[in-house]
Amino acid sequence: MNAEDIIEALNRALAAELSAIEIYTAHARVIREPGVAQGVLAIRDVEQEHARALAGRVRSLGGVPVPPGAPATVVGRAAGAVTTQLSTADMLLLELSEEQQAMIDYVASIAQIMDDYDTLDLLEEHLVDEMRHARWLKSQIRAAQARPVAT
């Protein structure tokens, strides 16, 4: 990958992180289980750090980062708003799918980048975070599915 391709990949990752932030924020507001809501907010905070780091890396490579409010962010906000009527387990499943896609995207970029070790280090750190998020979400989904539904 050349620098232009790397900037494009980083901006795709940034757009996905911004979208996920919107989804996590919306879900945390409506999840009734305080521990789960706190966990979702903690993941959101890590995703915000990812977004800052990705934007910084894009700038350091001479690019212009995708801004908050870009189409991906709006899509994330809409997805978050639409899905707040779902059960906690279903909201967490949506979040898990976001994490799984992020893992796929990070691995694809890592596989393609040859000589930009600063970007590789950044993406590898983010990949590990996404894996941790997915593991936590899976445990919460199992627990939510086991809880009786309040009527």
Residue 47: name the closest of 137, 113, 117, 118 by CA.
Answer: 137
Q: What percent of the chain has pLDDT over 70?
A: 97
Work out whether the CA dihedral 93, 99, 102, 108 comes out positive or negative: negative
pTM for the model stands at: 0.92
Classify domain 3-146 at the CATH topology level: Ferritin (1.20.1260)
pLDDT, tens only, 64-79: 999 988 877 788 888 8
Residues 115/117/118/120 CA torsion (nearest 10 deg): 100
Query: Which amino acid appears at position 149 of this protein?
Result: V
pLDDT tens for each residue of 25-43: 999 999 999 999 999 999 9
**Is the confidence at residue 147, as pLDDT, over 80?**
no
Integer Cα distance of 137 and 66 in angstroms: 27
> For residue 50, which of 22, 16, 5 has the smallest C-alpha distance?
16
